[in-house]
Amino acid sequence: MPPISTLAVFAVATLALLLVPGPAVVYIVTRSVAQGRTAGLVSVAGIHAGSIVHVAAAALGVSALIAASAAAFTAVKYAGAAYLVYLGVRKLLTRSEALDREVAPVSRSRLFGEGFVVNVLNPKTALFFLAFLPQFADPARGPVAAQIVLLGLIWIILGMASDGGYALLSSALAGRLRRSPVAARRLDVAGGLVYIGLGAAAALSGDGPRTA
Protein backbone atom coordinates (compact mmCIF):
# COMPACT_ATOMS: atom_id res chain seq x y z
CA MET A 1 0.00 0.00 0.00
CA PRO A 2 1.16 3.61 -0.53
CA PRO A 3 3.19 5.08 2.37
CA ILE A 4 1.64 7.70 4.60
CA SER A 5 3.74 10.41 2.97
CA THR A 6 2.30 9.56 -0.46
CA LEU A 7 -1.23 9.50 0.92
CA ALA A 8 -0.64 12.93 2.47
CA VAL A 9 0.57 14.35 -0.86
CA PHE A 10 -2.42 12.78 -2.58
CA ALA A 11 -4.83 14.30 -0.04
CA VAL A 12 -3.35 17.78 -0.53
CA ALA A 13 -3.46 17.47 -4.33
CA THR A 14 -7.02 16.16 -4.15
CA LEU A 15 -8.20 19.05 -1.99
CA ALA A 16 -6.56 21.55 -4.33
CA LEU A 17 -8.46 20.04 -7.26
CA LEU A 18 -11.77 19.65 -5.42
CA LEU A 19 -11.86 23.24 -4.20
CA VAL A 20 -11.85 24.53 -7.78
CA PRO A 21 -15.47 24.53 -9.05
CA GLY A 22 -16.15 22.15 -11.93
CA PRO A 23 -19.29 20.67 -13.55
CA ALA A 24 -20.19 18.66 -10.43
CA VAL A 25 -19.97 21.74 -8.21
CA VAL A 26 -22.07 23.71 -10.69
CA TYR A 27 -24.76 21.02 -10.51
CA ILE A 28 -24.64 20.93 -6.71
CA VAL A 29 -24.72 24.70 -6.31
CA THR A 30 -27.60 25.22 -8.74
CA ARG A 31 -29.65 22.59 -6.93
CA SER A 32 -28.77 24.07 -3.54
CA VAL A 33 -29.76 27.56 -4.67
CA ALA A 34 -33.01 26.32 -6.21
CA GLN A 35 -34.18 23.88 -3.52
CA GLY A 36 -32.11 24.42 -0.39
CA ARG A 37 -29.57 22.61 1.75
CA THR A 38 -31.12 19.14 1.70
CA ALA A 39 -31.35 19.11 -2.09
CA GLY A 40 -27.71 20.13 -2.33
CA LEU A 41 -26.55 17.39 0.04
CA VAL A 42 -28.62 14.75 -1.77
CA SER A 43 -27.00 15.90 -5.01
CA VAL A 44 -23.58 15.51 -3.39
CA ALA A 45 -24.43 11.93 -2.41
CA GLY A 46 -25.54 11.14 -5.97
CA ILE A 47 -22.42 12.63 -7.52
CA HIS A 48 -20.10 10.61 -5.33
CA ALA A 49 -22.07 7.41 -5.68
CA GLY A 50 -21.16 7.85 -9.33
CA SER A 51 -17.53 8.37 -8.33
CA ILE A 52 -17.49 4.83 -6.90
CA VAL A 53 -18.17 3.48 -10.39
CA HIS A 54 -15.25 5.43 -11.84
CA VAL A 55 -12.88 4.34 -9.07
CA ALA A 56 -13.79 0.68 -9.63
CA ALA A 57 -13.34 1.05 -13.39
CA ALA A 58 -9.94 2.73 -12.93
CA ALA A 59 -8.79 0.01 -10.52
CA LEU A 60 -9.80 -2.78 -12.88
CA GLY A 61 -8.43 -1.07 -15.96
CA VAL A 62 -5.04 -0.16 -14.51
CA SER A 63 -4.72 -3.57 -12.88
CA ALA A 64 -5.27 -5.19 -16.29
CA LEU A 65 -2.54 -2.96 -17.77
CA ILE A 66 -0.11 -4.03 -15.07
CA ALA A 67 -0.84 -7.69 -15.81
CA ALA A 68 -0.21 -7.05 -19.50
CA SER A 69 2.91 -4.91 -19.28
CA ALA A 70 4.75 -2.70 -16.82
CA ALA A 71 5.66 -0.49 -19.79
CA ALA A 72 1.95 -0.04 -20.54
CA PHE A 73 1.38 1.16 -16.98
CA THR A 74 4.20 3.69 -17.34
CA ALA A 75 2.73 4.85 -20.64
CA VAL A 76 -0.67 5.38 -18.98
CA LYS A 77 0.94 7.45 -16.22
CA TYR A 78 2.67 9.70 -18.74
CA ALA A 79 -0.52 9.95 -20.77
CA GLY A 80 -2.36 10.82 -17.58
CA ALA A 81 0.14 13.55 -16.76
CA ALA A 82 -0.32 14.99 -20.25
CA TYR A 83 -4.10 14.90 -19.84
CA LEU A 84 -3.91 16.80 -16.55
CA VAL A 85 -1.82 19.50 -18.24
CA TYR A 86 -4.38 19.62 -21.07
CA LEU A 87 -7.20 20.10 -18.57
CA GLY A 88 -5.29 22.95 -16.97
CA VAL A 89 -4.61 24.73 -20.27
CA ARG A 90 -8.23 24.29 -21.30
CA LYS A 91 -9.45 25.74 -18.01
CA LEU A 92 -7.19 28.75 -18.48
CA LEU A 93 -8.64 29.36 -21.94
CA THR A 94 -12.36 28.80 -21.27
CA ARG A 95 -14.95 30.74 -19.35
CA SER A 96 -16.78 29.55 -16.23
CA GLU A 97 -20.30 28.19 -16.28
CA ALA A 98 -22.89 30.38 -14.59
CA LEU A 99 -24.01 29.24 -11.13
CA ASP A 100 -27.24 31.24 -10.98
CA ARG A 101 -29.22 29.34 -13.63
CA GLU A 102 -32.92 28.61 -13.10
CA VAL A 103 -33.83 24.98 -12.37
CA ALA A 104 -37.18 23.32 -11.63
CA PRO A 105 -37.61 21.63 -8.22
CA VAL A 106 -37.47 17.81 -8.27
CA SER A 107 -37.79 14.99 -5.73
CA ARG A 108 -34.89 13.79 -3.58
CA SER A 109 -34.74 10.45 -5.36
CA ARG A 110 -34.50 12.22 -8.68
CA LEU A 111 -31.83 14.58 -7.33
CA PHE A 112 -29.75 11.58 -6.27
CA GLY A 113 -30.36 9.77 -9.54
CA GLU A 114 -29.52 12.78 -11.68
CA GLY A 115 -26.30 13.38 -9.76
CA PHE A 116 -25.33 9.72 -10.16
CA VAL A 117 -26.09 9.65 -13.87
CA VAL A 118 -24.41 13.00 -14.54
CA ASN A 119 -21.19 11.70 -13.01
CA VAL A 120 -21.22 8.10 -14.30
CA LEU A 121 -22.02 9.04 -17.89
CA ASN A 122 -19.42 11.81 -18.07
CA PRO A 123 -16.47 10.38 -20.07
CA LYS A 124 -14.29 13.26 -18.89
CA THR A 125 -14.71 12.06 -15.29
CA ALA A 126 -13.65 8.54 -16.27
CA LEU A 127 -10.59 9.90 -18.05
CA PHE A 128 -9.72 12.08 -15.08
CA PHE A 129 -9.76 9.19 -12.62
CA LEU A 130 -7.68 7.08 -14.99
CA ALA A 131 -5.20 9.95 -15.33
CA PHE A 132 -5.03 11.10 -11.70
CA LEU A 133 -5.18 8.04 -9.44
CA PRO A 134 -2.36 5.99 -11.06
CA GLN A 135 0.07 8.89 -10.49
CA PHE A 136 0.15 7.89 -6.81
CA ALA A 137 0.21 4.09 -7.22
CA ASP A 138 3.40 2.05 -7.13
CA PRO A 139 3.43 -1.60 -8.37
CA ALA A 140 6.39 -2.27 -6.08
CA ARG A 141 4.22 -1.67 -3.01
CA GLY A 142 1.55 -4.26 -3.68
CA PRO A 143 -1.54 -4.77 -5.86
CA VAL A 144 -2.18 -1.60 -7.83
CA ALA A 145 -5.94 -2.18 -7.89
CA ALA A 146 -6.07 -2.10 -4.07
CA GLN A 147 -3.97 1.08 -4.01
CA ILE A 148 -6.26 2.80 -6.49
CA VAL A 149 -9.36 1.77 -4.54
CA LEU A 150 -7.83 3.25 -1.37
CA LEU A 151 -6.92 6.47 -3.19
CA GLY A 152 -10.39 6.58 -4.70
CA LEU A 153 -12.04 6.24 -1.29
CA ILE A 154 -9.91 9.11 0.02
CA TRP A 155 -10.98 11.17 -3.00
CA ILE A 156 -14.65 10.41 -2.36
CA ILE A 157 -14.45 11.25 1.36
CA LEU A 158 -12.69 14.54 0.69
CA GLY A 159 -15.01 15.23 -2.24
CA MET A 160 -18.12 14.78 -0.13
CA ALA A 161 -16.69 17.14 2.48
CA SER A 162 -15.71 19.76 -0.12
CA ASP A 163 -18.88 19.53 -2.18
CA GLY A 164 -20.98 19.40 0.99
CA GLY A 165 -19.39 22.70 1.98
CA TYR A 166 -20.40 24.18 -1.37
CA ALA A 167 -23.95 22.91 -0.86
CA LEU A 168 -24.24 24.37 2.63
CA LEU A 169 -22.69 27.71 1.71
CA SER A 170 -24.65 28.19 -1.51
CA SER A 171 -27.96 27.28 0.14
CA ALA A 172 -27.26 29.74 2.96
CA LEU A 173 -26.42 32.50 0.46
CA ALA A 174 -29.07 31.53 -2.11
CA GLY A 175 -30.71 34.94 -2.14
CA ARG A 176 -27.43 36.77 -2.72
CA LEU A 177 -25.41 34.28 -4.74
CA ARG A 178 -24.27 36.24 -7.75
CA ARG A 179 -20.69 35.44 -8.69
CA SER A 180 -18.94 38.17 -10.65
CA PRO A 181 -17.14 37.38 -13.92
CA VAL A 182 -13.88 38.56 -12.35
CA ALA A 183 -14.17 36.13 -9.42
CA ALA A 184 -15.11 33.30 -11.77
CA ARG A 185 -12.12 34.03 -13.99
CA ARG A 186 -9.74 34.02 -11.03
CA LEU A 187 -11.04 30.60 -9.98
CA ASP A 188 -10.52 29.32 -13.52
CA VAL A 189 -6.92 30.55 -13.51
CA ALA A 190 -6.25 29.01 -10.10
CA GLY A 191 -7.78 25.71 -11.19
CA GLY A 192 -5.86 25.65 -14.45
CA LEU A 193 -2.57 26.22 -12.65
CA VAL A 194 -3.34 23.42 -10.19
CA TYR A 195 -3.99 20.94 -13.02
CA ILE A 196 -0.90 22.00 -14.96
CA GLY A 197 1.29 21.86 -11.86
CA LEU A 198 0.12 18.38 -10.93
CA GLY A 199 0.53 17.09 -14.48
CA ALA A 200 4.00 18.61 -14.82
CA ALA A 201 5.10 17.16 -11.47
CA ALA A 202 3.90 13.73 -12.52
CA ALA A 203 5.68 13.88 -15.88
CA LEU A 204 8.98 15.24 -14.53
CA SER A 205 9.16 12.77 -11.66
CA GLY A 206 8.81 9.84 -14.04
CA ASP A 207 6.95 7.67 -11.54
CA GLY A 208 4.40 10.29 -10.56
CA PRO A 209 4.34 12.75 -7.66
CA ARG A 210 5.35 10.35 -4.90
CA THR A 211 7.55 11.09 -1.92
CA ALA A 212 8.87 7.57 -1.47
The DSSP string of 133-160 is GGGG--GGGS-HHHHHHHHHHHHHHHHH
- pLDDT, one tens digit per residue, over 125-162 is 777 787 788 888 888 888 888 999 999 999 999 999 99
Report the pLDDT value the prediction gives residue 152, as an integer from 0 to 100. Answer: 92
Whole-angstrom CA distances from 81 to 36, 74, 136, 153 are 38, 11, 11, 21
CA dist 25 and 11 (Å) reads: 19
pLDDT higher than threshold 50 for residue 207: no
pLDDT tens-digit map of 168-195: 988 887 655 545 455 555 556 665 676 6
* Amino acid residing at 128: F
User: What is the reported pLDDT for 155?
Assistant: 92
- Taking residues 106-114, report their average pLDDT: 87
**209 confidence band (pLDDT: 50, 70, 90):** very low
- Residue 157: partners with Cβ closer than 8 Å, 6 or more residues away: none
Higher pLDDT, 39 or 23: 39
CB 198, CB 209: distance < 8 Å: yes
Model-wide pTM > 0.85: no
193 or 46, which is more confident: 46
Q: Which of 8-17, 40-49, 58-67 has the lowest mean pLDDT?
A: 58-67
Q: Is residue 107's pLDDT more than 50?
A: yes
> What's the mean pLDDT when you consider all of the chain?
76
